[in-house]
Structure 1
C-alpha cells in the first residue's frame, strides 16, 4: 500500500511534528499529544479505494483531539470507521465516550469535535467515507457517531472483517472493483445505521416514522408539480434517493406509486364535484401533475375500472363528506360500467414510465 509515511528516518526531535503533519495529510487535521516521553514512533500506509480513503495506522501511545478550529480548516467532511486491530482506544464525541479493543469498530464524524485516546501502542485500520456519499439524515448519523460497535453479531460481525481485508489489500483492486467495493461499504454502513436505530430508543420526533410523515406531507403539498419525483423529494429532505426508497420499504407502497395514487385520488375527488360548469378531464389531470391526458385516462381506468368521463358522469351529482375518501366503483368486466359504489381498491396502481405521473 502506498504511500507510506514513517518516522523511522526522521530525527528524534522532529518526529512528533512530522507525525502531526502526516496525520493531517492522510486523515484530517488534529492536535496530537504523546502519552509517554522519548522519541515518537509511528507509521501510516494510505491508499484510495474508489471514493474512500483508507489507512493502516501503527503508532506509539498518543491522544488526538479535533477542535472547531481544525474543522474550519478542513476541505472535506468524513464519517470515519476505525477497526481496532491491536491495543485499546477511547473515543469521545457528542457527549458520549466509548472504549474499543481489538476487533471492535469505532464510528466518528469529522464535522464535529472529538477526542481519540490510545493509552498504549496500537494498530488500527481506518476507512474515511465522504459524508456527501452517505445520503443519511444527520439525526441517524448522530445516533451512531461517538460509539464503539460490537462485532460479534449483527451487521458489525459482517462489516469488521470486510473493512479489515479491504484496507489490507487496498492497492490490489482494479478501478472498477474499487468503485464497487466503495459502494458496498456505504451500503453496509447504511445497514449498520438502520440496525442501530432499531435497537436504540429514540424520541418520536427523531424517528424514521416522523421522516416518512414529513415526506408524505411534502408529496401532498406538491402533487400539482409535474417535476415532483423521488429525486426532488430526496433533495428537499437532504437524503439520498436510495435512502428514500429504503424508508418506504415498510410502508407497503413505493414512493412513485404513492405519488400516483394521491394524484388519482385528488383527480377523482375533483371530477366528482357537482356544479353548473364541470372542469374538463384534461384540466383536472394537469392541475394534479399529470402531463399526458391520454395516459392519465389509461391509469385512471386501471385503478377505478371506468374512464374519468364515466366517473364524472356517475359521481357528478353526488357529494362526499369533507375529509372522507371517495367511494370507488367496483370494476366490472372490461368496458362495462360499474353498477354500484364500493370501497377504494387496495391494489396500488401499476408503475409507469411516463413523465408527470410520479413513477
Structure 2
C-alpha cells in the first residue's frame, strides 16, 4: 500500500517543517525552502516495487538542496531518475545546470550534492534504486547528471509512457518474486538509458574505436586465465557488461565465443608445432584456459572437424598444415 504524506491537515505554521521531514524521510535527507509567501501545500505518495522505490511529489514552488553535510549523515548510495510531470525545474549537479521541461527526464546521484529549483507549482515522479543494482560505471553516471534528457524521440520517448504508467499503478498487488523481477527490468531500462546518453555525451565520438582494441588486447593477453569472462573484462575496463556486449555487436560475435575461438586457435597452433618433446593435449588445453580436457576435445572437434590428437597427427605427417584455421564465429 502506498504511503501518502500531505500538508493538507497540518497547521499553516508547521507546514514547512512537516514538508521538510516528509520529503527527507521519503526520498533522502535534503532541505526544502518554499519560494512563495503564502501557506505551503505539498503531497508525496510512495510505493515500493522490490528494491525500486517509486514516488510522486506535487508541491508549490520550492528550492531543494542536497548538501555535503546531509550526504555525510546518510548511508544510502542511491541513483534517482526524475520525470517532470508538470511545471519546470532548474537542476544542478556535477557543475552542470539543466533547464527541465515537462516530460523531461533527469538522472542524479544522491551521493553527490545537487539542487532543484521549481519556480511554480509542479509534479514529478522519482524512481530511486540502490547504486550497486544499476551496474553502470561511475563515469557514465557522471556524464548524464546535470542534464535534461528529452523524451521527444529515441529511447526516452519509449520509456516515458512506461514510467508514467508504473508510477500511477499501485504495486502492492504483485507477489514479491514478480515485483523483484519487474524492478530488475526497470533498472535494466535505466541502465540502457544512461549508457545511451553517456555514449552521446562522450567528447570523443570514436570511443568504440579506442576501447575495442584495448579490450581485444586484454583478451589476447589473458587467454590462459580460466576465469577470463565478460564480467572480469568489463570490470577491468571500468564499463558494464551490457556496454561490453554492445561493443561487440558490430563484430558479429559474442565476447564468450571470441574467447573460446582465440583459445582454440592458440591450442591449434601449439599442437601443430614440431618438436621432440611435444606437450600433452591436456597440458596445451590447460595452458590456454580450458579447465576440462573433455570439454576442450569436444570444442576442438566441433570447430575443426578432427580431435586434437588427430590434428597433431596430421601435422606430424607433414600434410602442409602450419597453423590452426580460423574458427568461424557468430
TM (normalized to structure 2)?
A: 0.88
Q: How far has the Cα of 1:134 moved from its partner? A: 1.3
User: Structure 1 residues 317 and 111, CA, compared in 2 at 3 Å: closer, same or farther?
Assistant: farther
Counterpart residue number, 1:281:
281
Q: How far has the Cα of 1:86 moved from its partner? A: 1.5
CA distance in 2, matches of 1:144, 1:315: 56
Q: How far has the Cα of 1:18 moved from its partner? A: 1.7
Note the residue ranges of structure 1 that are not aligned, 5 or more in a row: 319-337, 350-359
User: Structure 1 residues 242 and 196, CA, compared in 2 at 3 Å: closer, same or farther?
Assistant: closer
CA distance in 2, matches of 1:41, 1:184: 34
Is the Cα contact below 8 Å between 1:54 and 1:127 reproduced in 2? Answer: yes
Q: How far has the Cα of 1:342 moved from its partner? A: 8.3
CA distance in 2, matches of 1:51, 1:66: 22
Instruction: Confirm whether residue 186 of structure 1 aligns to residue 167 of structure 2.
Output: no
CA distance in 1, matches of 2:182, 2:188: 10
User: Structure 1 residues 238 and 71, CA, compared in 2 at 3 Å: closer, same or farther?
Assistant: farther
Counterpart residue number, 1:345:
326
Q: Which moved more, 1:295-304 or 1:241-250?
A: 241-250
User: Structure 1 residues 251 and 116, CA, compared in 2 at 3 Å: closer, same or farther?
Assistant: same
Counterpart residue number, 1:117:
117
Give deviations 1:173-211, integer Å, cap 9, x for gaps: 413443333223222223323432454453379x35545
CA distance in 2, matches of 1:214, 1:170: 46
Counterpart residue number, 2:135:
135
CA distance in 2, matches of 1:211, 1:17: 50
CA distance in 1, matches of 2:316, 2:78: 58
CA distance in 2, matches of 1:188, 1:142: 18
User: Structure 1 residues 217 and 340, CA, compared in 2 at 3 Å: closer, same or farther?
Assistant: closer
Measured on the aligned residues, the alpha-carbon RMSD in Å equals: 2.8
Q: How far has the Cα of 1:52 moved from its partner? A: 0.8
Q: How far has the Cα of 1:346 moved from its partner? A: 5.2
Counterpart residue number, 1:52:
52
Partner SS, residue 286 of structure 1? helix
User: Structure 1 residues 142 and 213, CA, compared in 2 at 3 Å: closer, same or farther?
Assistant: farther
CA distance in 2, matches of 1:342, 1:220: 17
User: Structure 1 residues 181 and 3, CA, compared in 2 at 3 Å: closer, same or farther?
Assistant: same
Q: How far has the Cα of 1:237 moved from its partner? A: 5.0
Counterpart residue number, 1:326:
none
CA distance in 2, matches of 1:222, 1:149: 39
Counterpart residue number, 1:28:
28
Counterpart residue number, 2:225:
225
Q: Which moved more, 1:129-138 or 1:56-65?
A: 129-138
Is the Cα contact below 8 Å between 1:224 and 1:289 reproduced in 2? Answer: yes
- Mapping of 1:1-359 within 5 angstroms? 2-171=2-171, 173-175=173-175, 176-203=177-204, 207-208=207-208, 210-236=210-236, 241-315=241-315, 344-345=325-326, 347-348=328-329
User: Structure 1 residues 67 and 220, CA, compared in 2 at 3 Å: closer, same or farther?
Assistant: farther
Q: Which moved more, 1:51-60 or 1:302-311?
A: 302-311
Is the Cα contact below 8 Å between 2:272 and 2:321 reproduced in 1? Answer: no
Give deviations 1:221-262, integer Å, cap 9, x for gaps: 332232333344445556554454344323321121111112
Q: Which moved more, 1:244-253 or 1:290-299?
A: 244-253
How many equivalent residue pairs? 329
Is the Cα contact below 8 Å between 1:303 and 1:345 reproduced in 2? Answer: no
Q: How far has the Cα of 1:56 moved from its partner? A: 0.9
Note the residue ranges of structure 2 that are not aligned, 5 or more in a row: none
Q: How far has the Cα of 1:28 moved from its partner? A: 1.0
